[in-house]
Amino acid sequence: MAEVPRRSMRSSSPTDAPAGGFSGRAWSLVRLAGLGVVVALVFSAGLLAAPSSAHGLRNQLAGLGLWGPVAMIATYALLTCAMVPGPVLAGASGLLFGTALGTLIAIVSATLGASAAFLIARGLAQRPYAALVTGRLRHWTQRIERRGFLAVLYARIAPGAPFALVSYAAGMTRVRLREFAAATMIGASPRAFAYAALGGSIGNYSSPQALAGLGVLVVMSLGGALLLWRTRRGRAAG
């Protein structure tokens, strides 16, 4: 007589559910919501830390001597995470430190702030995002991950792309930090110079540095619009 296979006596439990089940999906949603809470807290902290005026910030930095630029970099980076517009921050750097040093401060600060936002999203939301994303959004995410450096550089050059949101979004993909930071530094540099030059030329917009800054903004806007047009045309043709 054939032996009847014995059934396993191990009882099932909720933890045996597939990773893609309700519990796993719910936890992923909670972690994504946690990223939203952290971003909101950083935004609130940035509003509280932001000086009421450039004159007030200048007074605060005046007594720091050589540490003034360091304090400005730290403040700028925090406010970048808090989604304060980059043109305002770069213009303030130029106003406080002049075009040359202001540009350097703006580039370093924007890169550090963007990298911090990237790492916040990477730590809190990369895995839950990968577990939840489907369909067309998953396709676009994979495309961004394949292009890496070029995808981030395009986002930095494209007109109207929100700087901080791009950083948080990139952190949820598998783009490498060094590629992200390098593309951010290169892509942000022209506008950082332009706004720092304009900030350093308040009251004298006919100065060579102000005209150079305006020229850079015009070239970046036209170049970014052309790049966007070619991308859409290629997508339509494909």
SS3 labels along 89-146: HHHHHHHHHHHHHHHHHHHHHHHHHHHHHHHHHHHHHHHHHHHHCCHHHHHHHHHHHH
What confidence category does residue 62 fall into, taking pLDDT thresholds of 50, 70 and 90?
low
C-alpha closest to that of 109 among 160, 73, 143: 73
Distance CA 213, CA 206 (A): 11
Torsion of the alpha carbons at 87, 90, 95 and 99, rounded to the nearest 10: -120
Distance CA 112, CA 81 (A): 9
Distance CA 113, CA 148 (A): 19
User: What is the model's pTM?
Assistant: 0.78
Average pLDDT of the segment spanning 41-45: 75
64-115 pLDDT, tens digit each: 777 888 988 998 998 898 888 889 899 989 988 999 999 999 999 999 999 9
Q: Is 82 in contact with 162 (CB distance < 8 Å)? A: no
Residue 192 lies in a domain: yes
Q: Using the predicted structure, report yes or no on whether residue 17 has a pLDDT greater than 50.
A: no
Residue 44 lies in a domain: yes
Residue 230 lies in a domain: yes
- Interacting residues of 49 by C-beta distance below 8 A, sequence separation 6+: 75, 78, 79, 82
Which amino acid, one-letter code, is at 10?
R
Residue 2 lies in a domain: no
Average pLDDT of the segment spanning 112-129: 90
Range of the domain at 159: 23-237
- To the nearest whole number, what is the mean pLDDT of the chain? 80
Q: Using the predicted structure, report yes or no on whether residue 50 has a pLDDT greater than 70.
A: no
Residue 65 lies in a domain: yes
C-alpha closest to that of 168 among 79, 90, 83: 83
Domain count, the chain: 1
Which amino acid, one-letter code, is at 133?
V
Average pLDDT of the segment spanning 128-140: 80
Please give the pLDDT value at position 54.
Answer: 62
Please give the pLDDT value at position 112.
Answer: 96
Q: Which of 73-77, 218-222, 226-230 has the lowest mean pLDDT?
A: 226-230
Residue 214 lies in a domain: yes
153-163 pLDDT, tens digit each: 989 988 888 89
Please give the pLDDT value at position 133.
Answer: 76
Q: Using the predicted structure, report yes or no on whether residue 173 has a pLDDT greater than 80.
A: yes
Residue 147 lies in a domain: yes
Residue 10 lies in a domain: no
C-alpha closest to that of 98 among 187, 207, 183: 207
